[in-house]
Chain A
Amino acid sequence: MRGSRLPRLVVWVVSALVTGPRRDFVLGDLEEDFRRRVSTGGRVWAMVGVWVEVARSAGPLATWSLDGRGGTMRGLGQDWTGAVRMFGRAPGFAFTVVATLALGIGGATAVYSVLRGVVLEPLPFDDPERVVVLWGETPEYPRAPLTVGDHNALVDGVEAFESVAASWTNTTLLLGGARAEQVRVGWVTPGYFETVGVQPALGRTPAAGEEAHVVLGHGLWERRYGGDPDVLGRTVDLGGERFEVVGVLPAGRDPDLTAFGGGRTNHDLWRLMPAGWVQGDDRSVGWLRSSARLAPGVSEARAQTEVDALMARVNTTVTDRDGGADLRVNVIPARTDLVGDASRTLWILMAAVCGVLLVAAANVANLLLARGEGRAAEVAVRAALGGGRGRLVRQFLVESATLAGAGAVAGLGVAWAGVAALRAAAPAELPRLDGVTLDAGVVTFAVLATAATALVFGLLPAVRASRSDLAAAMAARRATDDAGSRRWSRALVVAQVALSLALVSGTGLLLRSLSGLHDVDLGFARAGVLTFALEAPSWGEGDAEAAAKMGDFIRSMDAVPGVEAVGFTNRVPLAGGLYTGTVASQAMVAAENDAVETSFRYVTAGYLDALEVRVVTGRTLTRDDDATVGLVDELVARRLWPGGEAVGRTIQVQTVGGDPAWVEVVGVVAPMKHAGVEAPAAETVLLPMLPRAANQNFRYVAARVSGDPLAVVEPLREAVEAVDAQGVVARVRTMDDLFDASVAPTRFASQLLLVFGGVALLLATVGLHGVMAFTVRRRAREMGIRMALGAERERILRDAFRSGATLVVAGLAGGLVLALAGGSFLESLLYEVDARDVVTLGAAAGVILVAGLLGAWVPARLVLGIDPVKALRSD
């Protein structure tokens, strides 16, 4: 008789509530009852009956196992009911407390969930803690890609590594089908996917030697192939070469370890590097991103020791390495490498939001203390009548836990909204932001934060309550004030003011950095500039044909209405990307001194016009310049010819992989910010691009336009397609976008700190107001007596105000110490502002002082409302 078995859900619910052998009796009873109901009243009636029974029994069953020893739970139930009733009678108080806690808990939870998703969550690889990246470190570059020779030395030379692999990235055109598309291609050595720990969701990865095979990223597979599993075995056209698709990678598991240039690149597809690329011991160019998988049970420290020992040996044999003979290879956990900078920002925010949570907890503690004060007599009477001390403490704790629980529920709502806001406001560079959700771990955090908060603000009043004795409490009611509790609540106000000052001054420092960043001299004019990558399937044979084609593109784009200047480069400013070489003056070559390593950029004349690059001396480039001329920026000029004239001199330049060439300096330009707004401009040599048009990995276009840059995107695309129907315009960004992205981490942090600082200040002011108002009311009798004895109201007002102002000043002093200590914590986010900046600190202190004094003055004025007669009668 299937229909009369107990519903499975009922079994689950009851099993969750009751454990052990008891479960059997209860379920047996429920089932027997259920069957009887089915036979007498039918199934529906039985269902209703059994659920009513379960609902009524849930409470007793859940507390069953806790019951029996001294009626603890029953007592707690009474305390809880009492607490709810008490707060029902004081809804304003309860609301203030719950709202305060909701802000604190919600804010902390929201920031924690971002921190967890971005920083704490493991990477989506197999045994991700074993994946490390290997960056070279030279005096010039702290994070340099490795040369083939150094990579190969590591492949077999380190026992701590289970495997070593390398990758490299470029872009190419995916042809065939409706429209050509620019795709990012990851080139990897065999074994890369095993090293990183990502297996394909479909098919397999290319085996060693399968150089005409690709594995698709999940995104490209869904976007271009509609998630069709039959894509395996299909042929795709990459820039004219044909490849067979052998696999598809799983969603959200991109075996991408690049954090190079500050941003995360998501690859569209992956292929093997030709075997010849990574053979031998060539050390002229560093271009490999090497990664390794640690052998089981091996620590990074041990791997680093082995690598150091190996490199010490290797370095002695090396003479001609890019970046010098003294190379250190750093073994860095992949996650640290990927989220390094972001994690610092997030930890700072976490500290700030915990500060807010503390202020909130302190506030609530204060409010409860004030209430406890009002109830001191009640408590004392209960204690005198035999109410156990433990029982009283418990009642206070239950009350604060009730408030904290309500605060936590409201806080989760705040957190939910907060996460949505953070996701909207966070810089695009913040990796793994998609993974940020309010999950079980985050809710656990909220509960823990709540418990901690409840403990902090519940303990003080509880401890105080446990100490109260009848005589003192009754006396306190009569006389002026209870020194103990006043000391506590005053200390809390001081702590709040101090924390607020630290937060506000931190916010101030970030805001100043942000405004400093906006005033940075970029070396070019960013407004009205549009940039994009331009790719074509073929650029012809040799430099001449490629230059002719680039010329065609330039002319076609120049003719677009609204375009004032347009040109090519190999790297756009502010977008990062490394392209380096060495430069030496004639004198240095003659003296056989080491050449200087600098950044190199290839540019056309129109590019310099489009960016309005400032020419300091000499001239800019023209369309007809050949490979024998070039520009240097002021930094290079100063380095090669300190105090001397650069224009007219000859330099020997050598870019990575190229031959040395002599170039005449025809002009000196202002340094341009290539790596980002904050990073100092790197010494840069600018060479004409057209004479070297064929051998370019990247071709970017910059166009200066009148009016809205985005309005000319489509016309520019048409102009490109008019020259080559397969030409592709990709990664379209305005210079303003790039600027915003570059300052985003600082802006993100300052916006959030602004909110946190504001909330902390508000809470501190509310707290001060509360304490002052309470004190004045408590002392109304004393003040009434003083007035009756002829004291002036103004004088009493001044006294009351002074007692509040003292707290504010004490808090400011503590806050200064805190702000100075916390400032160094912020240092990494600051731009040309000292972490101990006096002006910022002073301004922050001023804001707090005004807010604090206002918070003291308003309630102090309650003094004026005291009626001596009433005050004296009030007992």
Chain B
Amino acid sequence: MPDVLSELEVLALAALLRLGDDAYGVAIRDDILERTGRSVSIGSLYKALQRLEDRGLAESEIGEPTAERGGRARKLLRITALGQAALRDSVASFRRMMDGLGLEREGT
């Protein structure tokens, strides 16, 4: 039985896809905030990212420490092929649920 993604996980995967090589904690959070208006706490975001990593939907590497982070490194995340597939599945099932409800047109 394939894992079902939570809403936050879907949003995070989408942000990873968009941000590419520049996806890390604050950047992901800001992207979600900018596009959806949802303010996600750093703590919840890291937990969601951890779950994605644990399931092989995302992978991470340690970046260089920078001065603007007080000499601390950043953890850069990247979406995996499995993650892209899962995101597609989620979006597709979401669409199927919405089909015929006449909701999509209203928004656009």
Identify the A interface with B (CB < 8 A). Answer: 5-6, 21-22, 24-33, 35, 53, 56-61, 63-64, 67-68
The residues of A that contact B73 with a CB separation of less than 8 Å are 24-25, 28
Whole-angstrom distance between the Cβ of A78 and the nearest chain B Cβ: 15
Given A24-B72, A27-B72: A58 in contact with B43 (beta carbons within 8 A) = yes
Whole-angstrom distance between the Cβ of B10 and the nearest chain A Cβ: 18
> Which residues in chain B, 46-68, are within 8 Å of chain A measured between CB atoms?
46-47, 50-51, 54, 62, 65-66, 68
A56 & B43 in contact (Cβ 8 Å cutoff): yes
The residues of B that contact A59 with a CB separation of less than 8 Å are 43
> Which residues in chain B, 11-44, are within 8 Å of chain A measured between CB atoms?
24-26, 29, 41-44
Q: Is there a chain A Cβ closer than 8 Å to B75's Cβ?
A: yes
Given A27-B72, A31-B72, A60-B41: A68 in contact with B50 (beta carbons within 8 A) = yes
B69 & A60 in contact (Cβ 8 Å cutoff): no
A25 & B75 in contact (Cβ 8 Å cutoff): yes
Q: How far is A50 from B30 in the complex, measured between Cα atoms in Å?
A: 14
Which residue from B29, B54, B70 sits with its C-beta under 8 Å from A5? B70
Q: How far is A175 from B82 in the complex, measured between Cα atoms in Å?
A: 93
The residues of B that contact A30 with a CB separation of less than 8 Å are 42
The residues of A that contact B46 with a CB separation of less than 8 Å are 22, 25-26, 60-61, 64
The residues of B that contact A56 with a CB separation of less than 8 Å are 41-44
The residues of B that contact A24 with a CB separation of less than 8 Å are 72-73
Contacts A/B (CB < 8 Å), 7 sampled: A21-B62, A29-B25, A29-B26, A32-B68, A32-B69, A35-B68, A63-B47
A57 & B41 in contact (Cβ 8 Å cutoff): yes
The residues of A that contact B50 with a CB separation of less than 8 Å are 64, 67-68
Q: Which residue of B is nearest A52, CB measured?
A: B41
Q: How far is A26 from B73 in the complex, measured between Cα atoms in Å?
A: 10
The residues of B that contact A67 with a CB separation of less than 8 Å are 47, 50-51
Q: Which residue of A is nearest B43, CB measured?
A: A57
Q: Which residue of B is nearest A63, CB measured?
A: B47
List 9 tightest A-B contacts by C-beta distance, closest first: A57-B43, A28-B72, A60-B43, A56-B41, A29-B25, A28-B69, A25-B75, A61-B43, A31-B70
The residues of B that contact A5 with a CB separation of less than 8 Å are 70
Which residue from B41, B44, B70 sits with its C-beta under 8 Å from A28? B70
Q: How far is A255 from B42 in the complex, measured between Cα atoms in Å?
A: 56
Whole-angstrom distance between the Cβ of B56 and the nearest chain A Cβ: 13
Q: How far is A608 from B73 in the complex, measured between Cα atoms in Å?
A: 89
B70 & A57 in contact (Cβ 8 Å cutoff): no
Counted as pairs of residues, one from A and one from B, with CB atoms less than 8 Å apart, the total is 76
Q: How far is A6 from B69 in the complex, measured between Cα atoms in Å?
A: 9
Which residue from A28, A29, A68 sits with its C-beta under 8 Å from B51? A68
The residues of B that contact A64 with a CB separation of less than 8 Å are 43, 46-47, 50
Given A24-B73, A64-B47: A32 in contact with B26 (beta carbons within 8 A) = yes
A33 & B72 in contact (Cβ 8 Å cutoff): no
Q: Which residue of A is nearest B30, CB measured?
A: A33
Q: How far is A53 from B72 in the complex, measured between Cα atoms in Å?
A: 18
Q: How far is A61 from B68 in the complex, measured between Cα atoms in Å?
A: 23
Given A31-B69, A64-B50, A68-B51: A25 in contact with B25 (beta carbons within 8 A) = yes
The residues of A that contact B24 with a CB separation of less than 8 Å are 25, 29
The residues of B that contact A31 with a CB separation of less than 8 Å are 68-70, 72
Whole-angstrom distance between the Cβ of B66 and the nearest chain A Cβ: 8
Q: How far is A56 from B29 in the complex, measured between Cα atoms in Å?
A: 14
Q: How far is A33 from B42 in the complex, measured between Cα atoms in Å?
A: 10
Q: How far is A59 from B47 in the complex, measured between Cα atoms in Å?
A: 11
Q: How far is A29 from B51 in the complex, measured between Cα atoms in Å?
A: 19
Centre residue among A6, A28, A31, A60 by max chain B CB count within 10 A? A28
A27 & B44 in contact (Cβ 8 Å cutoff): no
Whole-angstrom distance between the Cβ of A68 and the nearest chain B Cβ: 5
Q: Which residue of B is nearest A31, CB measured?
A: B70
Given A53-B42, A57-B44, A60-B41: A6 in contact with B26 (beta carbons within 8 A) = no
Q: Which residue of B is nearest A57, CB measured?
A: B43
The residues of B that contact A33 with a CB separation of less than 8 Å are 26, 42
B42 & A29 in contact (Cβ 8 Å cutoff): yes
Given A25-B74, A64-B50: A57 in contact with B42 (beta carbons within 8 A) = yes
Q: Which residue of A is nearest B48, CB measured?
A: A60
Known: A24-B73, A27-B72. 16 other contacts (CB 8 A): A22-B46, A28-B70, A28-B72, A28-B73, A29-B69, A31-B70, A31-B72, A32-B26, A33-B42, A58-B43, A61-B43, A64-B47, A67-B50, A67-B51, A68-B51, A68-B54
Q: How far is A741 from B15 in the complex, measured between Cα atoms in Å?
A: 77
Q: How far is A32 from B69 in the complex, measured between Cα atoms in Å?
A: 5
Whole-angstrom distance between the Cβ of A822 and the nearest chain B Cβ: 53
Whole-angstrom distance between the Cβ of B45 and the nearest chain A Cβ: 8
Q: How far is A372 from B42 in the complex, measured between Cα atoms in Å?
A: 40
Q: How far is A68 from B29 in the complex, measured between Cα atoms in Å?
A: 21
Whole-angstrom distance between the Cβ of B38 and the nearest chain A Cβ: 13
Whole-angstrom distance between the Cβ of B53 and the nearest chain A Cβ: 9
Centre residue among B29, B50, B54, B62 by max chain A CB count within 10 A? B50
Q: How far is A60 from B62 in the complex, measured between Cα atoms in Å?
A: 22
Q: How far is A27 from B25 in the complex, measured between Cα atoms in Å?
A: 10
Given A33-B26, A35-B68, A64-B50: A28 in contact with B74 (beta carbons within 8 A) = yes
Whole-angstrom distance between the Cβ of B58 and the nearest chain A Cβ: 14
Q: How far is A220 from B54 in the complex, measured between Cα atoms in Å?
A: 68
Q: How far is A646 from B46 in the complex, measured between Cα atoms in Å?
A: 97
Q: How far is A748 from B72 in the complex, measured between Cα atoms in Å?
A: 61
Whole-angstrom distance between the Cβ of A607 and the nearest chain B Cβ: 79
Whole-angstrom distance between the Cβ of B78 and the nearest chain A Cβ: 15
Q: How far is A89 from B101 in the complex, measured between Cα atoms in Å?
A: 39
Q: How far is A67 from B51 in the complex, measured between Cα atoms in Å?
A: 9
Whole-angstrom distance between the Cβ of B86 and the nearest chain A Cβ: 17
Whole-angstrom distance between the Cβ of B15 and the nearest chain A Cβ: 14
Q: How far is A287 from B24 in the complex, measured between Cα atoms in Å?
A: 80
Q: Which residue of B is nearest A58, CB measured?
A: B43
The residues of A that contact B42 with a CB separation of less than 8 Å are 26, 29-30, 33, 53, 56-57
Q: Which residue of A is nearest B69, CB measured?
A: A28
Q: How far is A28 from B54 in the complex, measured between Cα atoms in Å?
A: 22
Q: Which residue of A is nearest B25, CB measured?
A: A29
The residues of B that contact A60 with a CB separation of less than 8 Å are 41, 43-44, 46-47
Q: How far is A57 from B45 in the complex, measured between Cα atoms in Å?
A: 9
Whole-angstrom distance between the Cβ of A510 and the nearest chain B Cβ: 56
Q: How far is A60 from B40 in the complex, measured between Cα atoms in Å?
A: 11
Whole-angstrom distance between the Cβ of A548 and the nearest chain B Cβ: 87
The residues of A that contact B26 with a CB separation of less than 8 Å are 29, 32-33
Centre residue among B26, B43, B54, B69 by max chain A CB count within 10 A? B43
Whole-angstrom distance between the Cβ of A76 and the nearest chain B Cβ: 15
Q: How far is A60 from B47 in the complex, measured between Cα atoms in Å?
A: 7
The residues of A that contact B72 with a CB separation of less than 8 Å are 24-25, 27-28, 31
A27 & B41 in contact (Cβ 8 Å cutoff): no
Q: How far is A22 from B45 in the complex, measured between Cα atoms in Å?
A: 13
Q: Which residue of B is nearest A5, CB measured?
A: B70
Q: How far is A57 from B43 in the complex, measured between Cα atoms in Å?
A: 4
Q: How far is A108 from B104 in the complex, measured between Cα atoms in Å?
A: 64
Q: How far is A6 from B75 in the complex, measured between Cα atoms in Å?
A: 19
B54 & A53 in contact (Cβ 8 Å cutoff): no
The residues of A that contact B51 with a CB separation of less than 8 Å are 67-68
Q: How far is A30 from B47 in the complex, measured between Cα atoms in Å?
A: 15
The residues of B that contact A27 with a CB separation of less than 8 Å are 70, 72
Q: Which residue of A is nearest B51, CB measured?
A: A68
The residues of B that contact A25 with a CB separation of less than 8 Å are 24-25, 46, 72-75
